[in-house]
Amino acid sequence: MAQAQRVRSTPFAYVPEHSEDPYNQRVHVKTLALPGSQDFIILSHRSASEYAVERYDADLKKLWTATVPVGPGESMEAFARNDQQALVVLHHGDETGQHLLIQPVDLKTGQKLAAKKVAEGGPQERRPGISISPDGTQLVAWRYVTRDAQIKSLTAAHYDRQLGKLKDRTYDFRDLGSFFSPSVHVANDGTQYVALIGDDNQKLTVRRYRDQEADIKVMSVAVGGTFGGKKVTVRDSQWRLLDGQTLYAAAICADYASGEYYSLKLVKFDFGTADMKFAPEFKFTPEYLAETNKLTGASYKRLDDIYLSDVVRTEDQNVVVIAEHKAEEGPDAPVRARELHVFGYNEFQSPTWHQIIAKNQAAPITESFTGIGYRAAPIGNDVQVVTLEKLKDKTDLYLRKIAALPGTVTEPKALGLNVANDQQVAYVKDFTAWLDGKTMIVVTRPSKKSAALQLNKLVFK
């Protein structure tokens, strides 16, 4: 594996965000690469009432800073960028109502542009939602319309990169009966996919909407059912819009009565070719449980607390699905992120390999989802995975490479950052970003004596 060299570092201001809900997915501090250059932008939490969007160049020189106030009743909802603007989305709620506010920031100058209020609703309604395309040029914001706690429709609006409204529309579900909350995914060309889990948690359905077309295209597949007398339903799922246009769904299914994991299923919804590819299921057999125990040194009686976390596709069209074992161990005990369960599929959607990657990470519950866990990215035909671990008495960031075609995994390689080993924030994984195949940005605290975090640029030789 190529050696990592830290070529730049600079002090970095960041206040850890503590949430009563450690699974809160609305903490959107992150680093985003800017296409066509080595520049990047960061959204960081500066104080209890302020975030900041900052642009850095290849030498980690700060080019500009735009502050984003966050007042009472407001929280960060999303952060994205396109070729012209950074987009910061805030949720505001009080006794009079709620809405989403989109604050654009000019990428060249750092000037805040006119903010836009979207998805306004009543104070007792479900929290409104927003979906932003992978390239940041398309946005869809919506509010929920419910009856007796059941979602009946979404009232949505489609916006372009400059926040100009393209179309108002309604996603109507009154004919579906009961289903899980829908998720909306907007492609780079503005196509909207509404994904649902229905039929008593046994069926995945995707509805495609296009602004210029009246017809709604639908694809649906049963992933659960009754097998050998067992009722099998969806336990966990992840939807990913890859290449900016093709929607994938991964689902872990479990025995409804016992909760025991039954299988992993992967579905590709390709409306462009009117093709839905349903990969053969991977079953969680007793042999798989024994393999997990052998490779991790654990003594699990059954698989539990394993959650789907990534679906990625490499340049040669191989798909890799990653699930992580992550659990709280008691009211005052640390949260642990243990092994990764990794599954490979070839370009024809056939499962070709699986790997169980042992790791042992722990953190106090207040810091648990800041530093532990992992970051992954497809680089060429590999998937690179970065973790913070203590291996052989050395606490550092470690890099593993998973070759997507054969499924081989390299031994963890220390990046040489000498990360602090204590109960304070030492690594913020949300700031980990790949600028290209050989350049990575990370934020760490280098030692116990250091009170400040550092922004680091690593180059692989």
Contact at 8 Å (CB) between 349 and 323? no
Nearest to 257 by CA among 290, 303, 226, 288: 226
Q: What is the mean pLDDT of residues 236-255?
A: 96
pLDDT digits (tens, 9 = 90+) for 339-349: 999 999 999 99
In angstroms, the CA 186 to CA 275 distance is 19
d(CA 239, CA 218): 16
Question: What global pTM score does this model have?
Answer: 0.95
- The H-assigned helical ranges of 220-377 are 286-296, 368-371
Q: Is 286 helix (H, G, I), strand (E, B) or coil?
A: helix
Q: Which of 443, 352, 338, 330 shows the shortest CA–CA distance to 405?
A: 352
Q: What is the mean pLDDT of residues 241-262?
A: 96
159-195: pLDDT as tens digits: 999 999 999 999 999 887 777 779 999 999 999 999 9
- For residues 16-39, average pLDDT: 72
pLDDT at residue 313, rounded to an integer: 97
The predicted model gives 440-458 an average pLDDT of 90
**Is 357 in contact with 412 (CB distance < 8 Å)?**
no
Rounded to whole angstroms, the Cα distance separating 256 from 243 reads 34
Inform me whether the pLDDT recorded for 121 exceeds 60.
yes
Distance in angstroms (rounded) separating the CA atoms of residues 341 and 357: 7
HSE toward the beta carbon, residue 342, CA cutoff 13 A: 28
Top pLDDT among 5 and 22 is at 5
Q: What is the DSSP letter of 127?
A: P
CA 292 distance to own-chain centroid: 25
How far, CA to CA in Å, does 53 sit from each of 73, 85, 278? Answer: 21, 11, 41
pLDDT of residue 368: 59
Res. 2: pLDDT tops 60: no
**Cβ atoms of residues 44 and 31 within 8 Å:** no
Least confident span in 1-10, 258-267, 429-438: 1-10
Count the neighbouring beta carbons within 10 Å of the beta carbon of residue 75.
16
* Cβ neighbours around 379 below 10 Å, total: 17
The least confident of 60-69, 128-137, 415-424, 440-449 is 415-424
Q: What is the pLDDT of residue 422?
A: 81
What proportion of the chain, given as a percentage, has pLDDT over 70? 95
Phi, psi of 113 (to 5 degrees): -100, 180
Q: Rounded to whole angstroms, how far apart are CA atoms 208 and 205? A: 10
Band the pLDDT of 294: cuts 50, 70, 90: very high
Q: What is the reported pLDDT for 3?
A: 66
